[in-house]
Amino acid sequence: MTTIRHHPEDAVLLAHAAGRLPTGPALVVASHLESCARCRERVREYEALGGALLEALPPAALAPEALARALATIDGGDHRAPSPAPLAASAPAAAPRRPALPPGTAWPQALQGCSATPWRWMGPQMYWSRVTVPEDPAAKLFLLRIGAGKRLPTHSHSDLEMTQVLYGSFDDGRASFGAGDFDSAGGDIRHQPVVSEGGMCICLASVDGRLLFDGFIARTIGGLVGM
């Protein structure tokens, strides 16, 4: 059984429960929740608390003309039953394109309906894939596949990076992160993730702003990737 040691902060879980996270971070947090019973319970508590707060609010008065406008809309509508549309044979929807994951590693259900590019080279034994979210194509969501023992370039962050480990493990000097673990790194964090010698590591990452790489080559590749 996977032991999860690193979780989103309570403020992140609260924002997720309230629906206030942007698309990319929300999907990374949702991917964590799938494997973490502890955080799922926290989110349920926050959702219940939000519901209780709504019920405690005093009733809000409608505008004086609200009922009249609603009735006028109903009276002005066409109430005839629509003619049934002819049945057309529809082909089953094609499965979203996604790069291969190691055997036994399942795609997060949170990414259902999302597509992703094939693995693309960004360095020796380092690959990336851009995840496309249909309802928010601008979301900066990536998959990273880094080989055993490899080091990502040292970098800081202009904003916030959220990462969920899907497979393998890495250590960035602050802590070790394994499958199921969540990490959040803001502008105050400068680190160099190093993948364990035991095998590759695959992560789902959301990047707000940019990763600020130290080296010129790393900055150039990061710019091309969109990180």
Tens-binned pLDDT, residue by residue, of the chain (227 aa): 568 999 999 999 999 999 999 999 999 999 999 999 999 999 999 999 866 555 556 666 667 776 677 777 776 654 454 555 555 555 556 667 889 899 989 899 999 999 999 999 999 999 999 999 999 999 999 999 999 999 998 998 888 999 999 999 999 999 999 999 999 998 889 999 999 999 999 999 999 888 788 877 777 777 767 77
- Residue among 26, 19, 18 at smallest CA distance from 50: 18
pLDDT of residue 221: 72
Q: What is the DSSP letter of 187?
A: T
pLDDT for res 179: 96
Q: What is the DSSP letter of 173?
A: S
Give the pLDDT confidence score for residue 91 in this predicted structure.
56
Neighbours of 164 (CB within 10 A): 29
User: What is the pLDDT, as a whole number, of residue 170?
Assistant: 97
On the CB side of 110, CA atoms within 13 Å amount to 19
DSSP string covering 73-128:
HHHHS--SPPPPPPP---PPPPPPP-----TTPPPPGGGTT-EEPPPEEEETTEEE
Q: What is the pLDDT of residue 56?
A: 59
What is the value of pTM for the model shown? 0.79
Contact 113, 134 (CB under 8 A): yes
pLDDT of residue 64: 73
